[in-house]
Structure 1
Amino acid sequence: MIVEFAGPGAGTAPLTWGQAAIWDAVQKTAPDDHYFNFGRIVRIPATEPGVVLDALGRLVERHGAFRTLVQDGGQRQHERGRLPVQAHDDPDTALAELTAARFDYAAEWPLRASLVVRDGLVRQVVLAFCHLAADGLGAEVAVRDLRLLALGRAPRTAAPQQLDLARWQAGPEGRHVAARAAEHWAQAHERMPTTMFPTQVAAPDTPPIWRALLHSPALELAVRALAARHATSTSTVLLSAVAKLAGTGTSAVLPIVANRFRRETLGLVGTLSQEGLLTLDTDLPFAELLRRAVPAAMRAYRSAFHDPADRARVVAAESARRGEPVHPNCCFNDLRFADPGPAPCEPEELERALDKTTLSWPMSQDKLNCRFCVHVTPEGVSLTADTRYLPRPAIEAWLRGLESTLVEAALAGAPTGTGLSEAGRR
């Protein structure tokens, strides 16, 4: 099936800061850059295929990011084009197929789609996004708009455009914002370690990059209890624990931040998420470390809205001063769309939950642009690491250590002071 579209606003612009950041990661990860593809299964009321195809066309017309190619060192938004749409019987199979192959960034529209049809009616629409066109929250905007369009209801307001954001970032106001962020990066680089994982300790597995996923109801309970006790978010609790366990002395972690603080970016389909930089002294009891981490995390979150070219200059200058490359090689990405929120719990509840912990190995590949990546999802906490620097047994031990650290910290402030059971010490 083919969807023809004709949308307004053809033109060129530099890459946005978020696009430039992901473009750098894509180039360092290729040919395994399908790693950055992601998708959504969109459930809709049973609808005629023609209606859904029309809605897809209007979605692409509404959001210029889906009509944009990376060309000549920047981005070029097109008015007209044709989007191929597949058909599948099973949505999970469709999602796996659509996200499996890397995008051709200069020649392929950064959106793939498939209709799941039963009894002649569309039941689900499967979308696969190129990360240069959308991040997780941008994809949610697209999903919301597609549902409205499939119901015949046009969104009430015009959509903000990624091309306009790129031009704003290149203008005077954007440069002022970038300069303030660059100051943070420069100050943080003066005190951060050269890297968090400096030494190759083993021969690589085949392939070298592996991901372990820890599903731990106990960890989630502990994180929520600590967030309640310290009046902060569960994400900041997890970021603080990652910083503590990633190294000794001063840790440097790159948290991925949504960067949707400005009102005009809330409804934008585009890539705004970027890395911030957290530096934190970690040789402290966890309760004290967390108290210090809260303001440090806020500074790190603000620093994520930055021009990667400024960051590159800071990194180059500090690397030249030290005589070796400076990079944390350690990132943290909370992919949950909503923080479950603080909530106290009883020690006995934590103890019982420890028996429900499981660990699996859902992914491996040849290349990645980082050595140590923690992801938080509704399914649990995963660690993707280069086995030359963190072998598979160490990956598993690190995740279980994260669970133990957080559970022990939660129990340390519990009224009964029961401590951990043997299950929690494994």
Structure 2
Amino acid sequence: MIRETHGVESELVFAGARAGTGPATWGQSAIWDVVRRLGDDAARYNVSGGLRLDPPLPMDRVADIIRALLRRHDSLRTRLADGDDRLQQVVHAEGAVPVHTRECAPADVIDTAYAFYHELQGMAFDAERELPVRVGVVVAEGRVGYLILSLSHTATDGWGLRNLLAECGALCAGGELPEEELLQPLEEAAFQQSDKGRRQDSSARRSWVDKLTRGPESQFPERAGRPAADVFPNAVLNSPALALALDRVASGLAVSPNAVLLAAAAAAAARLGGAPDAVFQVVVNNRFRPGMAGAVNTIAQEGLLHLPGTAGDFAGLVRRTFGAALSAQRHAYYDKLALERDIAQLRATCDHSCFVNDTRGLMPILGYAAPADEPLHRARARTTLTWPVEHAPRRNTTFALDAQDAPGSLELAMTADAAVLPRDDMERFLYGIEDLVVGEAIKLS
């Protein structure tokens, strides 16, 4: 039985770190803009994860580990300030981050942590007035049995969170931090202002503009121009079969699972809208420069995937998607505010209001187990579709599709403009993705 207690908030004080002020990075600026527009829905963009501590550790030891991570990664000590000319980042040498505590019996640590994770995930950050980190600890018999780190998306993306949790886990196990030199956000911003950074930006924006002039005017032409719905429904397809089939198809066709997912989404969208091409904004890691691989920062941005001709053989579409995704990845590091000015100057652009974000493996909560290997028809019998929430309308969005981990399964979470994609179409879209991938996996077996 879980013993209910009120959250106890204290502060973890740190000092002796680097400090500085300078322009925000492209990634920080892009996320800042998105989060501000979301208003009350901004907490949905938090980036959170957790670790089971086995054996449990004393709170003093956990506090020392968190301080070491705060000193190592400048982004965790950074506030953003909206200046006259452009957004600024302010890195603090000292300060404090809140620590929230739940107490329970040893047998209840995981259940308590699961509920606690979602509670922390739902708390929005004020990137101007507070540091972008909250710590959650689940305490049993005086020791920390589970550690949760909840971060503002202005501090890191999912890949950065994965890096942070890996370092945290190593320290909790008595190991050492990697010795690699990390590119800190102020240093990244300096590169972006350099001649080489400007060339990178210019090349990426040219690629975007080129694709925006070649895609379809609308991917759902019969419904184009309708006023946005008052609320955007959110549907979640939970599919153990899709989790198994994605990996099997990727292995059989020698491509990435992400390419399989994108191809299935493109084909499913074409069935609904009838457009011959698919155009998606896809989230790209971007950790290609020295010092970025292990960085904890918000570096990921959207690349533009243009996939001509989505009809025909699915295996062939998957292979073409793999190449198109590589092109999108090569041109996903840019100044988004400058790109928006470029787009505003175009006489006409193709529809780029559809978003796909594959977050699998990036935000571990409770060490989700992989799905058990079993026949696909048996796994598919456990597929469920739920409608957990409705969101406020989102600007320039027809749908946003997130692929995310679930216990022994995979979830497709879709938020859409109901004026363009009513609930029935959202359901057909999500089941259509499952149909295509599972069907191809069966064909390859």
User: 2:287 aligns to what SS in structure 1?
Assistant: coil
> Contact (CA 8 Å) 1:254, 1:276: kept in 2 or not?
yes
User: 1:8 aligns to what SS in structure 2?
Assistant: coil
Give me the whole-angstrom Cα distance separating, in 1, the residues matched to 2:39 and 2:56.
39
Matched, 1:76 2:90: yes
Matched, 1:138 2:160: yes
Aligned to 2:77: 67
* Count of matched residue positions in the alignment of Structure 1 and Structure 2: 400
Matched, 1:333 2:357: yes
> Contact (CA 8 Å) 1:315, 1:326: kept in 2 or not?
no
Greater CA drift, 185-194 or 225-234: 225-234
Residue of structure 2 aligned with 1:58, choices 68, 79, 90: 68
Match runs of 1:324-403 below 5 Å: 327-337=351-361, 349-369=375-395, 370-379=397-406, 380=410, 381-403=412-434
CA deviations over 1:344-370 (Å, ceiling 9, x no partner): xx9x94444432322122333224353
User: 2:388 aligns to what SS in structure 1?
Assistant: strand
Residue 210 (structure 1) shift: 2.3
Aligned to 1:233: 256
Residue 65 (structure 1) shift: 0.5
> Contact (CA 8 Å) 1:196, 1:329: kept in 2 or not?
no
User: 1:30 aligns to what SS in structure 2?
Assistant: helix
Greater CA drift, 235-244 or 402-411: 402-411
Residue of structure 2 aligned with 1:95, choices 97, 117, 122: 117
CA deviations over 1:146-177 (Å, ceiling 9, x no partner): 23444555414254312211111121221121
CA deviations over 1:34-63 (Å, ceiling 9, x no partner): 110131122223111122122212221111
Give me the whole-angstrom Cα distance separating, in 1, the residues matched to 2:227 and 2:386.
22
Residue 216 (structure 1) shift: 2.3
Residue 67 (structure 1) shift: 0.7
Q: Which amino acid aligns with 1:246?
A: A
Q: Per the alignment, do residues 94 and 367 of structure 1 end up closer, same or farther by CA in structure 2, a change over 3 Å counting?
A: farther
> Contact (CA 8 Å) 2:266, 2:310: kept in 1 or not?
no
Q: CA-atom RMSD, angstroms?
A: 2.5
> Contact (CA 8 Å) 1:193, 1:328: kept in 2 or not?
no
> TM-score normalised to the size of structure 1?
0.86
User: 1:299 aligns to what SS in structure 2?
Assistant: helix
CA deviations over 1:87-108 (Å, ceiling 9, x no partner): 1132223222222122111011
Match runs of 1:265-344 below 5 Å: 265-285=292-312, 286-318=314-346, 321-322=347-348, 327-337=351-361
> Contact (CA 8 Å) 1:47, 1:123: kept in 2 or not?
yes
* Unaligned ranges ≥5, structure 1: 339-345, 416-426
Residue 12 (structure 1) shift: 1.6
Give me the whole-angstrom Cα distance separating, in 2, the residues matched to 1:159 and 1:249.
44
Residue 261 (structure 1) shift: 2.4
Give me the whole-angstrom Cα distance separating, in 2, the residues matched to 1:307 and 1:327.
20
> Contact (CA 8 Å) 1:252, 1:328: kept in 2 or not?
yes
Residue 260 (structure 1) shift: 1.6
Give me the whole-angstrom Cα distance separating, in 2, the residues matched to 1:25 and 1:186.
21
* Unaligned ranges ≥5, structure 2: 1-9, 104-111, 363-372
User: 2:430 aligns to what SS in structure 1?
Assistant: helix
Give me the whole-angstrom Cα distance separating, in 2, the residues matched to 1:140 and 1:107.
26
Match runs of 1:147-226 below 5 Å: 147-151=169-173, 153-157=175-179, 158-197=181-220, 199=224, 204=229, 208-226=231-249
Matched, 1:123 2:145: yes
Aligned to 2:59: 49
Q: Per the alignment, do residues 213 and 203 of structure 1 end up closer, same or farther by CA in structure 2, a change over 3 Å counting?
A: same
Q: Per the alignment, do residues 327 and 113 of structure 1 end up closer, same or farther by CA in structure 2, a change over 3 Å counting?
A: farther
Give me the whole-angstrom Cα distance separating, in 2, the residues matched to 1:217 and 1:9.
46
Q: Per the alignment, do residues 230 and 154 of structure 1 end up closer, same or farther by CA in structure 2, a change over 3 Å counting?
A: closer
> TM-score normalised to the size of structure 2?
0.83
Give me the whole-angstrom Cα distance separating, in 2, the residues matched to 1:98 and 1:224.
32
> Contact (CA 8 Å) 1:13, 1:163: kept in 2 or not?
yes
Q: Which amino acid aligns with 1:298?
A: L
Give me the whole-angstrom Cα distance separating, in 1, the residues matched to 2:100 and 2:160.
22
Q: Per the alignment, do residues 70 and 349 of structure 1 end up closer, same or farther by CA in structure 2, a change over 3 Å counting?
A: same
Give me the whole-angstrom Cα distance separating, in 2, the residues matched to 1:203 and 1:299.
31
Residue 330 (structure 1) shift: 0.5
Residue 271 (structure 1) shift: 0.5
Give me the whole-angstrom Cα distance separating, in 2, the residues matched to 1:298 and 1:386.
28
CA deviations over 1:163-207 (Å, ceiling 9, x no partner): 2111111212211211221221121011023343563669847xx
Residue 226 (structure 1) shift: 3.0
> Contact (CA 8 Å) 1:202, 1:391: kept in 2 or not?
no
Residue 268 (structure 1) shift: 0.5
